[in-house]
Chains A and B, each alone.
Chain A
Amino acid sequence: MADPVLAAMVHAMGATESRHYAAVKPVIQAYRASWVKLAPYRDGAVNSQRVTVSDPAAMTAQIKAKAAELGADMVGVCRLQPHMIDLGSEVPHEFVIACCVAEDYEKVTQGADAVEEEAMRSYAKCTEIATYLAAHIRAMGFPARAHHNGASEVQAIPIFYQVGFGELGRHGSLINEKYGASFRPGFVTTDLPLVEDQPHEFGVQDFCMNCNVCQRNCPGDAIPQNHVMTLGIKRWLIDLEKCYPYSRLRDEYCHLCVDVCPYIVKSHPETYRAFMKERKQVGYKTPKTY
């Protein structure tokens, strides 16, 4: 078990595996198997016949179109910086391409199992997109490596911020103007000459200071009131010891902090309001305004 916090908690319970992972349903097993199966193909031989890239902007547009054709809902590019790479890992590439697949928010009305299946479907799709996109770039004669649930050396949030997908929210996930926090990532690092996107700030960090909906709805009380600062950005550090009893140590998936985030209301107003009404009826502290 790679996560030391989860390993310690599982050990303290006298178990050898997370209850959630042990009780996993066949469809979820199949999605997980799909990214394990694709992991060996994330990197590979590079075509010795390199295409000439005289216009990086045109190449960037071409790559984004390819990712969209493969099924990405959002694609962005930035220069790969040291804080985007896992500590102790090395990624010898200049750029990173971020791809996202949005989750179907309507699944929230169908319960925790449906939400989990949708999250895993999105992760599996991202794995597929990143793997094929990396292979496509290598075929053009440039090194490229896919990073996804099956294997990765990059950090999602700083990359998402830098490519302009959104801002870090109180619940610890990045919030996008259109999809809220309800999307999943896949990445390709490469030396293919590309043009960078820019961060896009639309007031999330200020909004989260006063919203508190995710904090009030968190069953484990794992989302803190106070933030810390990291490189000038507000971060609310989730307490994993409180989160894991709900998200890892019981049978059902927990995705509530993402599902209640009001930023999804623009794209799914009726579903969001109905869901929040339901949340309030079961006694969660949902503000009247939602």
Chain B
Amino acid sequence: MEKLYVNAIRPDGEVSTVGLFYSRAEAEKIVAMLRDIPEQAECRYEIVEAARHLLSDRQAESILRMRTDL
């Protein structure tokens, strides 16, 4: 699944992360909604790809074991 952060950037350069989204369409929809809010009008927005997380062998093994423990 695609993972994307939406960041709001204020005129002074401060970056505030809006959230983590799982499709570009969803991220773009959020940005469009934010742009409609008067208080957010001065911000610009960026959609950036979150680094894909890869499980180590040890973590994967541990998770498989937990499936039966829970």
Contact = CB atoms under 8 A, between A and B. Distances in A.
Interface of A: 4-5, 8-9, 82, 87-88, 112, 219-221, 228-232, 235, 237, 239-242, 246, 250, 252, 254, 282-284
B26 interface: yes
B3 A239 contact: yes
A87 B37 CA distance: 9
A231 B59 CA distance: 33
Given A4-B26, A88-B33, A237-B19, A219 B1 contact: no
Nearest to B17: A228
A260 to B, nearest CB: 13
Q: Is the interface of B mostly helix, strand, loop or mixed?
A: mixed
Interface string B57-70: 00100110111011
A284 B69 CA distance: 10
26 contacts: A4-B23, A5-B1, A8-B23, A9-B1, A82-B39, A87-B30, A219-B66, A219-B70, A221-B53, A221-B55, A221-B59, A228-B5, A228-B17, A229-B16, A232-B16, A237-B17, A239-B53, A240-B22, A241-B1, A241-B3, A246-B70, A254-B70, A282-B66, A283-B62, A283-B65, A283-B66
Contact of B66 (A8, A235, A284): A284
Contacts of B33: 87-88
B20 interface: yes
A88 B37 CA distance: 9
Contacts of B30: 87
Contacts of A87: 30, 33-34
Contacts of A246: 70
A230 B18 contact: yes
B37 A82 contact: yes
Given A237-B19, A284-B66, 4 more contacts: A82-B37, A229-B16, A230-B16, A235-B17
B1 A8 contact: yes
B47 to A, nearest CB: 14
A119 to B, nearest CB: 16
Interface in B1-58: 1, 3, 5, 15-20, 22-23, 26, 30, 33-34, 37, 39, 53, 55
Interface of B: 1, 3, 5, 15-20, 22-23, 26, 30, 33-34, 37, 39, 53, 55, 59, 62-63, 65-67, 69-70
A82 to B, nearest CB: 6
B70 A252 contact: yes
Contact of A112 (B22, B37, B70): B70
A282 B69 contact: yes
Contacts of A9: 1
Contacts of B53: 221, 239, 242
A241 B70 CA distance: 19
Nearest 4 A/B pairs, CB to CB: A228-B17, A237-B20, A219-B66, A87-B33
A22 B20 CA distance: 27
Nearest to B60: A221
A13 B52 CA distance: 21
B69 A283 contact: yes
Nearest to B25: A4
B45 to A, nearest CB: 13
A282 B62 CA distance: 10
Nearest to A86: B33
